[in-house]
Amino acid sequence: MENIRQDIRDGTLKRVYLLFGTEDYLIRQYKNMLYSAAAGQDSMNCMKADGKDISLGAVTDFALTMPFFAKYRTVLLSDTGLFSAASEGWSELIESLPDTAVVIFAEQKVDKRNKLYKTVQKVGYACELNTPDERTLKKWIGGILKKEGLGISESVCEEFLLRTGQDMENIKNQLEKLISYCRGSAGVTYDDVNAVCSVVPQSQVFKMIEAAAEGRTQEALAYYYDLLALREPSMRILYLIGRHINQLLITRRMISEGQGQSSVASELGIMPFAAGKLMRQARSYTQDELLGLLKMCVANEEAVKTGNMDEKIAVETALIKCSDR
């Protein structure tokens, strides 16, 4: 990422860039940055195309033509699929690009064995943009708030991330709400986060199971009814409960094997602080109890599908079983 920023600062853009990875927010941000740096306000020397029906001939004709009263001919290609399949002719085009052309690819899927990928690496720059780790996300959040004159403690930041999840687009949207709500304050508090930040269903299920594990059945059910009020389908909630219990089962096994927080985070693809909370939950159950709860979720889902159980009752039963062991 820093390489792209440096290219933009220096005004020396490479002939081709490939942006790909799991974090759509970052891909969109850097795509827009590169496009603005290459094209500016110019539209005459710019070409945009989406999808898999992009014409190699049209792109070739456009990219190899000298720009008209501009520094670059800029081509922005999104979701072409060229990096996950055979793409005859495209490598030759990229290798033959003049210094007056900048081609930007923004892709969802990339096979690093692909010939075109290797050509981009040789001629330009391929940048993989994945969801940042916990430390980087916290730093990013703190930086945005600091610009607005707001501080945030690490524990409040973790509560915020637990509610929002790791999706950077959602985090940015929730931060904008927090900034408006807290403007004039010294910093962001737990109460502020709880007052204005929407909760993703996975986070609500986390709190739901946490309450159930501690025997607070009514609180667990209250979290469930909150999700229903947000129009979250009962069967989706039951699926998330089952998924969470499966995570607890994996975590319980890893604990018994002597593995720590970082290993759990890596195995489950979650942030370390969330892994720590998951480990505390997992210790509330035995491995056999978790296996039984997982089987119960599967049985309840089957009962709903066969018409033998109401879906709302299926979730309530699961939560009660998680509380009353």
The structure's pTM equals 0.78
CA gap 137, 171 in Å, rounded: 9
**Residue range 134-196, CATH number:** 1.10.8
DSSP 40-51: TT--TTEEEEES
Q: What is the pLDDT of residue 325?
A: 62
Fold entry, domain 2-128: Rossmann fold (3.40.50)
Q: What is the pLDDT of residue 9?
A: 94
CA gap 27, 109 in Å, rounded: 12
Q: Where are the domains of the chain?
A: 2-128, 134-196, 201-323
Look at residues 203, 152, 141 and name the one whose alpha carbon lies nearest to residue 176.
141
pLDDT, tens only, 13-28: 999 999 999 999 999 9
pLDDT, tens only, 212-238: 988 899 999 999 999 999 899 999 999
Residues in the chain, pLDDT under 70: 325
**Who's near 80: CB < 8 A, 6+ residues apart?**
49, 51, 52, 54, 105, 107
Tokens of 159: 């509560």
Tokens of 283: 């210790």
The sign of the torsion formed by the CA atoms of 289, 294, 298, 300 equals positive
Q: What is the pLDDT of residue 112?
A: 94
H/E stretch holding 241 reads: helix 234-256
CA gap 9, 312 in Å, rounded: 56
**Who's near 16: CB < 8 A, 6+ residues apart?**
94, 97, 102, 103, 104, 105, 120, 123, 124, 125
Q: How far is CA 142 from CA 28, 129, 133, 139, in A?
A: 21, 20, 14, 5
**Residue range 201-323, CATH number:** 1.20.272.10
Computed on alpha carbons and rounded to an integer, the radius of gyration of the chain in Å comes to 25
Look at residues 272, 222, 227, 231 and name the one whose alpha carbon lies nearest to residue 251.
272
